[in-house]
Amino acid sequence: MNMEVTQLEPYILKGSIKVIDRFFSVPLDYAKPDGQLIRIFVRNLIPVGEAKGSSVESDLPYLLYLQGGPGFGVDLSLSVDLGNALHQKGYQTLWLDPRGTGLSTPITADIFQATQMDDKDIAQYFKHFRADNIVRDCETIRHFLLDGKKDPEARKWSILGQSFGGFCAATYLSFHNDSLKEVFTTGGIPPMVDSPDAVYEALVLKVEQRNKVYYEKYPQDVRNVRRILDFLERNNVVLPNGGNLSVSRWLQLGMQFGSHGGIDRVHQLVFRAITDLDSLGRLSYGLLDSVQGTQSFDTNPIYAVLHEPIYCQGRTASWSAHRIIQKNDKFVWGKVKHMSDDVPIYFTGEMIFPDMFEDYHHLRPLRGAAELLANDEDWPMLYDLETLKKNKVKVNAATYYDDMYVDFGLVQQTASVIGNVEQLITNQSFHDGIRKNMDSILETLFKLSKRERD
């Protein structure tokens, strides 16, 4: 396999953190190692205050962070804040921009347009960006960094997976567990399913609960939201980047209900929209810009295109969330709008719908490819259940009882399958708990990792 590694000039961040940025060239398709190459970016943070001198620094064990999504890179502020906490545990850390994201070779609609790829070619390209290939990229990087170590144990590393990063960790355990010392996950034990239907059938109930909390906290928004949706239905509202602010897109703001403070953020947008309608008779540029800024599908197309296929193993996704949400009248504006004014319309959650590929400006060129992928059943296996049952690598998992993105019941089914799992189960954190309650969650996970029993 042809591979180039580009290492940039190191620099020091405040707090005595040495930073080494590297780009790795890897195959787009690992079945064709001499074919098209893409670049993978990984940032190495080394606590020089704890390890002075290059020889000592090189001996610090690695902990690799796997980002959630799918489709997101790692921002520097998270890597520094979380990195500092992990460095206190004696690690140097690695922060991967998964293929297609961040500083790695990106996936964007304009790239496909520039290369004049048709829908079939685009769909085939996207199929190389799931957990299986992310893990292969990790192994390429691990071999480069650690193959020179004499001690076989020193050639292993630990990983921390947040959300979808935890799904990747389960794939890692399935096919390369001999490369891992220890696994940490936060909101990231995956449902062991072969299509997303069971996932959304469970999650729609949690989204319903969060809507009830929202409207109990802000009862005035029952009528306010209905008024906004009525306005959107009667008017063609265009967002600053050319996307449509449709009824469906406004209801997608409910994705924020799954994170700390999300209910309050949505209310503020509703409050601002109602104020605009009262004073201007329309929605202001500021409000439209704020709505656009809360929704990341334009800038992170993998998040939309592969959101359902990340669950598929030999089966189609078939627009799972759309099919399942339509069964519940509370989420269907076409039905709720004919009911009395005191009947709330429910916001949707972390779900992908076909009309998003019209409403989001930068998803429009991907509509055909998304349709092909939604109906594709040629998806390889992501997990090896027999290997997971025999797992000996310590898995330390933070599991959130009220997680709106990863269903608690499905998590427990998976946790009962994977060997050597210990869980922190809490109802005091939502899906973004590692950001909001970082210290307490990490402290508990590292205590669990000791496997000390009463």
Residues 261/379, Cβ–Cβ less than 8 Å = no
CB neighbours of 327 closer than 8 A, spacing ≥ 6? none
17, with CB counted inside 10 A (0-12, 13-18, 19+), is: buried
Active site residues: 163, 403, 431
Which two tokens mark 152? 């076989």
CB neighbours of 186 closer than 8 A, spacing ≥ 6? 160, 161, 162, 163, 166, 397, 398, 433, 434, 441, 445
| Cα 152 to Cα 93, 157, 179, 180, distances in angstroms | 20, 11, 10, 11
**CA pair distance 185, 395, nearest whole angstrom:** 8
436, with CB counted inside 10 A (0-12, 13-18, 19+), is: middle
**CA pair distance 429, 437, nearest whole angstrom:** 7
Dihedral, 67, 69, 75, 77 alpha carbons, nearest 10: -80
List helix spans (H) across 252-359: 262-279, 285-294, 301-305, 320-325, 333-336, 356-359
SS (H, E, C) 315-343: CCCCCHHHHHHCCCHHHCHHHHCCCCCCC
